[in-house]
A and B are shown apart, each in its own frame.
Chain A
Amino acid sequence: MTTTAFLTDSTLCIGCKACEVACKEWNGVAADGFEWTGLSYDNSGALGHSTWRHVAFVENAPVEGFGGNAGEVLSWSFLSDVCKHCANAGCLEACPTGAIVRTEFGGVFIQPDVCNGCAYCVVTCPFGVVQRNPDQGKAFKCTFCYDRQKENLKPACATACPTESIKFGEIGELHEVANRRIEQLKSRGIDDAQIYDPQETSVGGTHAFFILRGDPKSYNLPPKPEIPTVHLRRGWTSAGIAAAALVTGTLLAFLGGNGDES
């Protein structure tokens, strides 16, 4: 099977939210409240159990080459965030029931019928993507439209995107597309364009990478995401040292005993 990926290009995103709606429509995810946030045009807030695509609206200080009259007025940029389908997925490693699996397309998929709702995956996701639905007691996130991919269809969000900001395809090809795009943007003087695909960290790269400008943090993306299992050795070492100390202490307590009255 082909390993597939998303390339989401914020420099082409017009903030229409068609991806959010198409995702919910296709996957039968219900609306999750009618709360006005007052934060730009973003009323979805963040990814979660009922929001699998989320368009961030970032109103920023003036940036050169970024929106009309760049450099003089503010910039307003949009990015459609999604589950990263990490090469080393924290959620998958933490799942005790085997509900979270790696699909034949390389995506990370939660099988709702197996999930027991322990929420280990929630805390182990370095991007804060996975969330437990309090009503159903199970964890949910982007399925990478596994059902559509099985039928050779593009994921719903990529199909709906009018400006091809969301691209879907074979991962190697998309890496090339991303590299070419960065070259193109730089040749146009957009020097802060970058690919966001944490390869250097323990995440080991993703199946949903991004082209964005400036600091990833402004889009709520961690600059150096790590999966919790990298802390295992240190954790086990500390535990070992602690255990050894405890044993030693206990032994010392016995050895140092003075044969009491009883």
Chain B
Amino acid sequence: MAENHPVGFQWVMEARERGAKIIHVDPRFTRTSAMADVWAPLRAGSDVVMLGAIVNYVLQNELAFREYILHYTNAPVILRDDFKDTEDLEGLFSGWDDGKKEYKTATWAYKDAPASEPSDKGPSGGHGKDRGGESTDEAVHRTDPTLQDPRCVYQVLKRHFSRYTPEMVGRACGISRDVFQKVAETFCSASGPDKTAAICYAVGWTQHSNGVQIIRTAAILQLLLGNIGRPGGGILALRGHASIQGSTDIPTLYDILPGYLPMPVFNAEGNRFEDYIQKHKTKEGWWNNFDKYAVSLLKAYYGDAATKENSWGFDWLPRVTGDHSHLGYWLDMADGKMEGLFVMGQNPAVGAPNSRLERKALAKLKWLVVRDMVEIETASFWLDSPEVERGELVPSEVQTEVFLFPAASHAEKDGCFTNTQRLLQFHEKAVEPPGDARSETWFIYHLGRRLKEKARKDPRPRNVGLNALTWDYPTQGLTAEPSAEEILKEINGWTTADRKPVKGYRDLKADGSTTCGCWIYSGVFPAAGENKARKREPKGPYGHGWGYAWPNDRRILYNRASARPDGQPWSERKKLVWWDAESKKWTGLDTPDFTLDKPPDYQPPEGAEGDAAIAGDQPFIMHPDGVGWIWVASGLKDGPLPTHYEPLESPMKNLLYPKHATDPAAKRRERADNPYAESPDPRFPYVLTTYRLTEHHTAGGMSRTLSHLAELQPEFFCEISPELAEKAGITPGGWVTVSSPRGVIEARALVTSRMKPIHVEGQVVHQVGLPYHWGYKGIVKGDAANDLVAISQEPNVRIMETKALVCNVAPGRRPRGKENLAQAEERPADPLTGQASERR
């Protein structure tokens, strides 16, 4: 966190100065470790063992926050008798279909709950997830408040993690018993009615073939300890860019629409509006409002053209017809199935996995539009990429027409950032963009305007939706820049008849009388001239009045959990919101994440729906059962509980489940241009992990091009331990060649004791660290670490595995030209001996 979020890390430092303990779990000793009280260096890819062992520690020592888990989680819920755990099936849950390589999830449902198969398991990712209510209904369940029933979640969880012991942590993660004890004790002792502990993570957890389940393990731990919905608690996803939270809320993802509404899938349930609504609108819980948000969004898209008769224009929305995730369509591109591509604010030629494959795929396009502040590698792949050097691409033969558009930076345009904390902060243009540089808003608006002009003259049915699209943003200035504030107004929403701003998402209706571009942001612009994202008047400990935190300016989500079931704070020290019996309202230091006048003892009447079906002591209002899910009955593709699987490439066997080394539902996408190593593989004996440095930003387009940043980390380097350097004959400061089955690159050797060999199961695992900022353009250049990474897909969100793969290292520079090609493509050689191995 100190490495990549130094500004946010100031609060961690402040907490440390007030007595908080910092635990840092990372294969490398980083700037964060240097500030921490405990550093637990683990073998990359063994996170679920480590976290699962803390869960086990909590359960074995009965450290769970009993009253919290009884009332606020599904720990007491009884599960089906026919559910089988990975402990019973040696690494698989019940329901595995080995032919289709996917799970049938019926046995994961609560006992007595209806269970069917989610229909969109194929093409859609996990972002537009099954929220419950489709394949099952979590509101239907039985509980055992004593937590003794062997089929209750608590007991199933206890058995599931019983082999995740400190000893196993030593064997699989390489963390000593002492260090593990220190981590578990420190973390658990900081939780309880008057204490909380937080977990911060970033893509060090996400970018694994089981990334979602790593984060799930943390969620289980935090629910057990009562650390969700309370001040100082939570799981904080540290986002990697200024507005990456914003770009999932109002998504650049293929499978969701604004506000986490699923993108319709091309199948029976996705084709008719009624079926789409029925599928996603839950009977109980907040998603019962699904139709209101969907109709209001369609009204924002299509305006007056969206009517009840034409299902609000639902038919005009595109459908998901396959895996349109970045990695999915890039493989399609490599196979020549795509004509053109827009690349904005991204540099996949350097920043995406198997970037060699990604660059070569670009050459299969007819046209490529790149918008950036500089000419990035993606725009010049045809001219100066390593593929040109290797003779794989010949500039005069590349048919791709590249259009490079200069982009305005954030200081050169108005706009809105949504940060890690869901805080919307509006920013104003400080200077005019230079020359022809324009904002994304300008580009998209004017592109849309021109396309609509063309479509108006073209009566083909395919243009009906484009013709119906509202595209009436007012523009200003010489360049006709669309007003960012007007767009934010549309996002906030208005009443359709008179365009009067709505006060928030509770005002939205399913009858077309309201228009709203993104329901979760509704309330950011509640009245003319009142742009709350622009406010800079913080008050109180949570900074209300500075920006706007969605939803409804709540600074901490699910904060009903900060009070006991009877509505009073768990403790004075950790009070946040509470029930005021006098005024009969929820009140407190934050905006209550609960219906304000719903008393703590409210019990839903028989047949109640929506929010009315959520009792007064159930904080997790989005779920049909109103509680936090230790057990996930529906919505995940690789199991209701997290289980340790090895990375897709690993020097180790899976000690817990020898028969199922890797996540069975993860997609390898293995092919000739995306090959894998064996596990273990004598050619690639070391673990490789990639990461970012404070001094650079992602693929380097915004930092390698700036002299004051480029000089701080001017060369691509490789971090290795003195032990590995000696073993491989690498000189500190000299060159080192790093290879994987995907490619061969070179870097300077930074030999440091901050990299420690890990001792696991009688073997020494050496880990190699590569920052991935370099490429072939900019003031400082270097090979791209991502040339070594495989394209793979985590089952739920389809992310690649950059944090744990295998490699080899050898002293000296990499081969050049065709020789490199031979090494990279034909026969992945062992760079130590120079001998080619049999291609597997």
CA distance A76 to B694 in the complex (A): 16
**Does A40 touch B at the CB level, under 8 Å?**
yes
Residues facing B in A17-47 (CB within 8 A) are 17-18, 20-21, 24-25, 30-36, 38, 40-41, 43-44
Q: Does A74 contact B (CB under 8 A)?
A: yes
The reply to whether A38 and B708 form a contact with Cβ atoms under 8 Å apart is no
Contact of B712 among A14, A21, A70, A162 (CB under 8 A): A21
B352 CB-CB contact with A under 8 Å:
no
Judged by a CB distance under 8 angstroms, whether A131 is at the interface is: no
Complex CA gap A163/B749 in Å reads 31
Which residues of chain A have C-beta atoms less than 8 A from B6's C-beta?
14, 16, 18, 162-163
Instruction: Report the interface size for chain A: residues with CB under 8 A from the other chain.
Output: 36
Asked whether A32 and B711 contact (CB < 8 A) given A59-B754, A163-B13, the answer is yes
- A68 contacts partner chain B, Cβ-Cβ < 8 Å: yes
By a CB distance below 8 angstroms, the chain B residues around A78 are 31, 34
Query: B413: CB under 8 A from chain A?
Result: no
Q: Is the CB of B712 within 8 A of A43?
A: yes
A68 and B754 within 8 A (CB): no
**Which residues on A sit within 8 Å (CB–CB) of B403?**
none
Interface membership of A15, Cβ < 8 A: yes
A33 touches B10 (CB 8 A): no
CA distance A99 to B31 in the complex (A): 40
Chain B residues with CB under 8 A of A24? 708
- CB-based contact B34/A77 at 8 Å: yes
**Residues of B close to A147: CB separation below 8 A:** none
Q: Taking the complex as formed, is B179 at the interface, i.e. its CB lies under 8 A from any CB of chain A? A: yes
Contacts of A191 in B (CB 8 A): none
In the bound assembly, the distance between CA atoms of A35 and B179 in angstroms comes to 38
Kindly state whether residue B753 has any CB partner on chain A within 8 Å. Answer: yes
Nearest-Cβ distance from residue A43 to partner chain B, whole angstroms: 6
**A-side contacts of B713, CB under 8 Å:** 36, 41, 43
B31 contacts which of A15, A20, A33, A35 (Cβ < 8 Å)?
A15
**In the complex, what's the smallest C-beta–C-beta distance from B376 to chain A, in angstroms?**
19
Tell me, yes or no, whether A164 is within 8 Å of chain B by CB.
Answer: yes
Interface size on B, residues (CB 8 A): 46
A61-96 CB contact bits vs B (8 Å, 1 = yes)? Answer: 000000111100111111000000000000000000
Let me know if B761 is at the binding interface, CB within 8 A.
no
In the complex, the answer to whether B694 meets A17 with C-beta atoms within 8 Å is yes
The 0/1 profile, CB within 8 Å of A marked 1, for residues 691-704 of chain B is: 00111000000000
Q: Which of B158-185 contact A (CB under 8 A)?
A: 179
Q: Which residue of B lies closest to A68 (CB)?
A: B39
Set of chain A residues within 8 Å of B753, measured between Cβ atoms: 59, 73-74
- B29 to A33, Cβ gap below 8 A? no
Q: Are B13 and A14 touching (Cβ within 8 A)?
A: yes
Specify which of A17, A34, A44, A68 is in contact with B24 (CB 8 Å cutoff): A68
Given that A15-B31, A31-B708 are contacting pairs, would A68 and B36 also be in contact in the complex, using a CB cutoff of 8 Å? yes
**B780 interface hit (Cβ, 8 Å):** yes
B733 CB within 8 Å of chain A: yes
Contact partners of B70 in chain A: CB under 8 A? none
Contact B714 A36 (CB under 8 A): yes
**Distance A162 CA – B733 CA, assembled complex (angstroms):** 31
A36 x B13 contact (CB < 8 A): no
Contact yes or no, A44 B711, CB < 8 A: yes
Contact string against B for A residues 211-245, beta-carbon threshold 8 Å, 1 for contact and 0 otherwise: 00000000000000000000000000000000000
Question: With A12-B13, A59-B754 in contact, do A76 and B708 touch (Cβ < 8 Å)?
Answer: no
Closest CB of chain A to B792's CB: distance in Å? 30
B291 to chain A, nearest CB (A): 45
Q: Say whether B756 contacts A73, CB under 8 Å.
A: yes
The interface residues of chain A lying within 8 Å CB-to-CB of B829 are: none
Q: A36, A68, A73, A163: which contacts B717 (Cβ < 8 A)?
A: A36
Chain B nearest Cβ from A160, distance in angstroms = 10
Q: Are B39 and A73 in contact (CB under 8 A)?
A: yes
Interface residue? B198 (CB, 8 A): no
Closest B residue by C-beta to A22: B708
B612 an interface residue at 8 Å Cβ cutoff? Answer: no
Q: Which residues of B contact A163 (CB under 8 A)?
A: 6, 9-10, 13
B707 proximity list for chain A (CB < 8 A): 30-31
Contacts of B279 in A (CB 8 A): none
Given known contacts A36-B715, A59-B753, A68 and B9 CB-to-CB distance under 8 angstroms:
no
* Chain B contacts for A35, CB-based, 8 A: 714
Chain A residues within an 8 Å CB radius of B338: none
With A21-B708, A21-B712 given, is the CB distance from A36 to B748 under 8 Å? Answer: yes
Q: Per-residue 0/1 for B526-565: is the Cβ within 8 Å of any A Cβ (1 yes, 0 no)?
A: 0000000000000000000000000000000000000000
State A16–B695 Cα separation when bound (angstroms): 7
B770 within 8 A of A: no
State whether the Cβ of B416 lies closer than 8 Å to any Cβ in chain A. no
For the complex formed, measure the closest distance between the CB of B602 and the CB atoms of chain A, giving whole angstroms.
45
Q: Which interface residue of A16, A18, A73 has the most chain B CB atoms within 10 A?
A: A16
Of B7, B10, B37, B732, which is within 8 A of A38 by CB? B732
Q: B39, A162: Cβ atoms under 8 Å?
A: no
Closest 5 CB pairs of A and B: A68-B39, A31-B707, A38-B733, A36-B715, A34-B714
A-B contact pairs, 6 of them (CB 8 A): A34-B714, A36-B717, A43-B712, A68-B33, A74-B753, A78-B31
List the interface of chain A (C-beta within 8 A of B): 12, 14-18, 20-21, 24-25, 30-36, 38, 40-41, 43-44, 59, 67-70, 73-78, 162-164
Q: Add 6 more A-B contacts to A15-B694, A68-B36, A163-B9 (CB < 8 A).
A: A15-B34, A17-B694, A38-B749, A68-B29, A68-B34, A162-B9
